[in-house]
Chains A and B, each alone.
Chain A
């Protein structure tokens, strides 16, 4: 992805976001002017930082501190589940896409000190007495798509299976909790 903040560049980014959203069961905010402004913010961040971090959050400019807020951010799906919109309201739930009036400010889910704490590596070396950070130390249930067998470890199943596109209600709990950090 390269930064292109021309009108054509923003429109192209918007088309790509919309196509990606549609193909994976997500919805963009139906307010075209609002969504275009967000796309412009993403393009500006791509130019400034080299990655499209969330336009509604302050990035540090260091990818290791900002990885969780690169769009789509780590918090999008839980915010969609709880508030019907992501933090910026670029992504909205199907219900909110049909009734945008219900889109309201989403409280910040990211830890206040997050930006100064690099996320834990995926497979950190074992360290005696190490206390994992709250976010990385959480355990997640595993959800299985009964249709195609897709597995994911997260608080709730996705709205739509990213593989076979069936709805959330086709998922079942699978096995026990999976710790995020082994």
Chain B
């Protein structure tokens, strides 16, 4: 997992592919919103590390599709801008 610095919204994890344009848009949105998060480009992983990461992804999104954004245990699948903004709104 790579750490991107930003304001604290609790644990925010993003599963992505390095080639996926919707994943890129999600990263840009989080940056624009100044959200601190961790991400992993699953296509760049190999072997056991990839399998372990996919298991973690499968647990929150059985379709294992990208991007998958996990905020407080809730998984937002795909670049759903309005939903991402809503979930990460400051309390």
Residues of A in contact with B, size category: 20 to 34
Flag B59-75 by CB within 8 Å of A: 1 or 0 each.
00011111000000000
| A107 engages B78 (CB within 8 Å) | yes
Closest to B24 in A: A37
Known: A112-B62, A112-B63, A112-B64. A58 touches B42 (CB 8 A): yes
- A58 interface neighbour in B21, B66, B78, B79, Cβ under 8 Å: B66
Please, which residues of chain B bring their CB within 8 A of the CB of A56? Answer: 17, 19-23, 66
Q: How far is the CB of B16 from chain A (nearest CB, A)?
A: 10
Closest to B20 in A: A56
A108 to B66, CA, bound (A): 9
Please, which residues of chain A bring their CB within 8 A of the CB of B21? Answer: 34, 37-38, 41, 55-56, 88-89
| A55 engages B19 (CB within 8 Å) | yes
| A58 engages B43 (CB within 8 Å) | yes
Known: A45-B19, A58-B42, A112-B63. A105 touches B24 (CB 8 A): no
Please, which residues of chain A bring their CB within 8 A of the CB of B65? Answer: 57, 108
Known: A105-B78, A112-B64. A59 touches B43 (CB 8 A): yes
A131 to B66, CA, bound (A): 31
Q: How far is the CB of B43 from chain A (nearest CB, A)?
A: 6
Closest to A53 in B: B19
Please, which residues of chain B bring their CB within 8 A of the CB of A40? Answer: 19
B7 within 8 A of A: no
Please, which residues of chain B bring their CB within 8 A of the CB of A58? Answer: 17, 42-43, 54, 64, 66
A58 to B66, CA, bound (A): 8
B18 within 8 A of A: yes
A44 within 8 A of B: yes
| A41 engages B20 (CB within 8 Å) | yes
Q: Give residues 82-112 of A contacting B (CB, 8 Å).
A: 88-89, 105-108, 112
| A55 engages B20 (CB within 8 Å) | yes
A40 to B18, CA, bound (A): 11
Q: How far is the CB of B22 from chain A (nearest CB, A)?
A: 6
A57 to B66, CA, bound (A): 7
A59 to B46, CA, bound (A): 12
Q: How far is the CB of A60 from chain B (nearest CB, A)?
A: 10
New contact pairs (9) apart from A42-B19, A56-B66, CB-CB < 8 Å? A41-B20, A55-B20, A57-B17, A58-B43, A59-B43, A88-B21, A108-B77, A112-B58, A112-B63
